């Protein structure tokens, strides 16, 4: 709480000293009130309540994120259980991982022609890697003892996967899922800024172009809060998983 007050103070001081263009906290609140007090209003395509924008963004993020999990988890399993596979594909993944969403998006537009699928594509491909890598680490680190239990009980491959590997790797997988969600949320803003989709990032960019700087700050705060909430949610899930499995 004290931290927030500090930032608020700094913000206020900045407005009067070096950052003359920055709206003051009071001004920001004044200009944003309508968006906050009526958060689900829809007055026009790019003029909606803040939570409505957020909701649009979340829908997009969810789609991309789910694709990332659906592809990333099996990929991680293959990578973790086959040494040859890991050797071949690890360098490739290390190379793909640092590519910025700003670089993927144009490729998505070329591939899909439309903005929504290319945004989903970008989210999926950017947020996939923590899931892939953490799942692979989890699978690679399944203790030999657990595998031996499966072996002496003569488990089939399927049973080995579902009764031993999956539960043993689950805590790692959830760490990956959490990191992936963080990245997905990071990417959505960039993607919407480029595509101008009616979400929180699109709103931010539009308001910048319309010189309504108060709304930039409103958007930033919203993005931060939602990101924090998402991470907090995933952490809770992760903790429950960890407690259930350790």
Partner 1 sequence: MSAPMLELRGVGKSYGSRAVLRDVNLHIFEGEFVCAVGYSGSGKTTLMNMIAGLLAPDKGELLFDGTPIQGPSLNRALIFQNYSLLPWLSAQRNVELAVRERFPELSSAEVREHARRYLQKVKLGHALDRRPTELSGGMRQRVSLARGLAMEPQILLLDEPLGALDALTRAELQDEFVRLQEQEHRTILMITNDVDEAVLLADRIVPLSAGPGATFGASIPITTSRPRDRRKLNDDPCYHHDRKAVLRYLLAHGPQDTARAASRRQQRSAVMSSALEVTPV
| Contact by Cβ (8 Å): 171, 238 | yes
210 counts as binding partner 1 under rule CB under 8 A = no
* Choices 66-74, 82-90, 123-131, 167-175 (CB under 8 A): range interacting with partner 1: 167-175
The Cβ-side half-sphere exposure at 208, using a 13 Å CA radius, reads: 12
Residue tagged 């203790």 (tokens): 143
* Choices 71-79, 88-96, 150-158, 198-206 (CB under 8 A): range interacting with partner 1: 150-158
Q: Using CA atoms, how far apart are residues 193 and 206, in angstroms rounded to an integer? A: 8
Q: 146, 186, 212, 213: which one contacts partner 1 (CB under 8 A)?
A: 146
* Choices 14-22, 125-133, 142-150, 209-217 (CB under 8 A): range interacting with partner 1: 142-150
Q: 155, 212, 227, 231: which one contacts partner 1 (CB under 8 A)?
A: 155
User: Beta-carbon neighbour count of residue 1 at 10 Å?
Assistant: 5
Query: What are the tokens at 198?
Result: 């009616």
Q: Give least dist CB 142 to partner 1, A.
A: 11
For residue 59, what are the contacts with CB-CB under 8 A and spacing of at least 6? Answer: none
Query: What are the tokens at 203?
Result: 């709103």
244 counts as binding partner 1 under rule CB under 8 A = yes
Q: Give least dist CB 242 to partner 1, A.
A: 10
Q: 33, 151, 239, 240: which one contacts partner 1 (CB under 8 A)?
A: 151
Residue tagged 């829809």 (tokens): 42
* Choices 11-19, 147-155, 189-197, 224-232 (CB under 8 A): range interacting with partner 1: 147-155
Dihedral over Cα of 183, 184, 187, 193: its sign: negative
By the criterion CB under 8 A, which residues form the site for partner 1?
145-146, 148-149, 151-155, 163-164, 167-168, 170, 244-246
């Amino acid at each position: 709480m004290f931290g927030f007050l500090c930032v608020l103070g700094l913000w206020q001081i900045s407005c009067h000293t070096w950052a003359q263009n920055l709206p003051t906290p009071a001004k920001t609140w004044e200009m944003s009130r309508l968006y906050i007090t009526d958060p689900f209003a829809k007055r026009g395509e790019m003029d909606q309540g803040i939570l409505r924008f957020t909701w649009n963004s979340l829908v997009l993020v969810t789609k991309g994120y789910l694709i990332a999990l659906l592809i990333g988890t099996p990929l991680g399993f293959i990578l973790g259980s086959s040494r040859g596979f890991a050797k071949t594909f690890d360098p490739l993944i290390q190379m793909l991982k640092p590519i910025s969403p700003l670089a993927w998006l144009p490729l998505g537009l070329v591939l899909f022609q439309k903005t929504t699928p290319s945004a989903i594509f970008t989210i999926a491909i950017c947020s996939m890697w923590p899931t892939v890598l953490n799942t692979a680490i989890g699978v690679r680190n399944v203790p030999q003892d657990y595998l031996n239990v499966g072996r002496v009980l003569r488990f089939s491959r399927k049973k080995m996967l579902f009764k031993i590997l999956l539960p043993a790797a689950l805590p790692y997988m959830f760490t990956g899922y959490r990191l992936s969600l963080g990245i997905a949320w990071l990417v959505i803003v960039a993607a919407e800024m480029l595509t101008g989709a009616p979400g929180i990032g699109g709103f931010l960019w539009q308001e910048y172009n319309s010189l309504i700087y108060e709304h930039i700050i409103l958007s930033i705060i919203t993005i931060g809060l939602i990101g924090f909430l998402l991470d907090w949610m995933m952490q809770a899930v992760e903790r429950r998983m960890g407690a259930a499995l350790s």
